[in-house]
């Protein structure tokens, strides 16, 4: 049970931080206060409740901006879009809800709108807020999973149709050209025909070159250079920049797969999918 829950929470999830994702919690809070009338708002007149709804709605949107913006600034590694998961999304939403709970509690306590003790008031506000928001949160997260999963599946299928039009290998008897991979000092470390190169991966100040040996086994050569420099020497008819850390030989791409967060490439002869960043997915479309 716990292992299934852990796997579910580790599923990829889209990181959505748009004006709509900031506005929607505020609108939902406004509707909640004005129409559902939770907590102690029953004793507040309609016009005052409308103003309170606007105030709390604005505060909720500001909470989303503050929490998400603060986390992106102070914990950038945790908030990386390419490693965003369902568990992180749920945790971020719950953190925003807790901040909103605290805001509502302080408003009632400092405003003298409740005769209850601070501890009991906080528990009541926390219980109401979490209870009311839990179902919409679950529905929203599941809808995001479904919608983005379908979107990425459609994108992957469209790209797979394009990749079926791969370029043809050179005619028999024509010696293939060779790519010279040089280090920063200009020394050539490796020379290969384009068809034998699988992909290049950036590792700090180095580039890992993955290629096929004469026995069709995958080998790796490490050279000190920048990925951008190596990319400049590669033929555009074979290679495209799929990710900030990866340059891929399109001839070896078997298919494109998609999950709720991003696309990935399955390469012939390689055991792990390679990521495709959202900003560079158009490069696959251009490779025809």
Domain co-membership, 155 together with 186:
no
Say whether both 119 and 218 belong to one domain: no
The domain in which residue 15 lies consists of 2-161
175 pLDDT above the threshold of 70: no
For 102-129, how does the pLDDT look when each residue is reduced to its tens digit (9 = 90+)? 888 888 788 777 778 888 888 888 887 7
Model confidence at 2, in pLDDT bands (50, 70, 90)? Answer: confident
- Judge if 258 and 140 occupy the same domain: no
**Band of residue 207 on the pLDDT scale cut at 50, 70, 90:** very high
Higher pLDDT, 198 or 137: 198
| Count of domains observed in the chain | 2
- Chain centre to alpha carbon of residue 205: 25
Q: Are residues 63 and 128 in the same domain?
A: yes
Q: What is the pLDDT of residue 168?
A: 46
Give domain status of residue 73, yes or no: yes
- With respect to residue 167, please indicate whether it lies within any of the assigned structural domains: no
- Enumerate the β-bridge partners of residue 203: 206
Q: Is residue 166 part of a domain?
A: no
Mean pLDDT of 163-170: 54
Which of these three, 161, 182, 217, is where a domain ends? 161
Does residue 142 lie within any of the structural domains?
A: yes
Give the pLDDT band (50/70/90) at residue 172: low
Asked if residue 179 and residue 116 are part of one domain, the reply reads no
Query: Do 132 and 10 lie in a common domain?
Result: yes
Q: How far apart are CA 137 and CA 148, in angstroms?
A: 16
Residues 29 and 148 reside in one and the same domain:
yes
- Residues 211, 145, single domain; the answer is no
> What is the pLDDT at residue 215?
87
Residue with the larger pLDDT of the pair 35 and 55? 55
């Amino acid at each position: 049970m716990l292992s299934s829950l852990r796997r579910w929470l580790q599923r990829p999830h889209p990181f959505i931080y748009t004006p709509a994702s900031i506005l929607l919690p505020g609108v939902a809070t406004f509707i909640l206060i004005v129409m559902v009338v939770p907590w102690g708002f029953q004793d507040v007149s309609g016009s005052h409740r409308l103003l309170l709804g606007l105030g709390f709605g604005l505060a909720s949107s500001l909470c989303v901006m503050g929490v998400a913006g603060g986390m992106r600034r102070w914990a950038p590694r945790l908030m990386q879009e390419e490693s965003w998961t369902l568990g992180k999304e749920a945790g971020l939403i719950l953190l925003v809800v807790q901040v909103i709970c605290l805001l509502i509690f302080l408003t009632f306590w400092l405003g003298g709108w409740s005769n209850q003790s601070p501890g009991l008031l906080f528990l009541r506000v926390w219980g109401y807020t979490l209870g009311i928001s839990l179902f919409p949160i679950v529905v929203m997260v599941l809808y995001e999973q479904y919608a983005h999963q379908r979107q990425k599946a459609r994108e992957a299928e469209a790209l797979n149709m394009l990749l079926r039009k791969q370029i043809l290998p050179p005619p028999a008897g024509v010696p293939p050209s060779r790519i010279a991979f040089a280090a920063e000092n200009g020394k050539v470390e490796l020379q290969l025909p384009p068809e034998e190169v699988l992909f290049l991966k950036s590792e700090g100040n180095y580039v890992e070159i993955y290629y096929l040996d004469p026995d069709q086994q995958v080998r790796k050569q490490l050279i000190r250079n920048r990925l951008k420099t190596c990319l400049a020497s590669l033929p555009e008819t074979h290679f495209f920049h799929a990710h900030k850390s990866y340059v891929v030989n399109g001839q070896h791409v078997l298919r494109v797969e998609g999950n709720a967060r991003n696309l990935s490439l399955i390469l012939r002869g390689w055991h792990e999918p390679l990521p495709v960043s959202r900003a560079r997915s158009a490069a696959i479309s251009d490779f025809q």
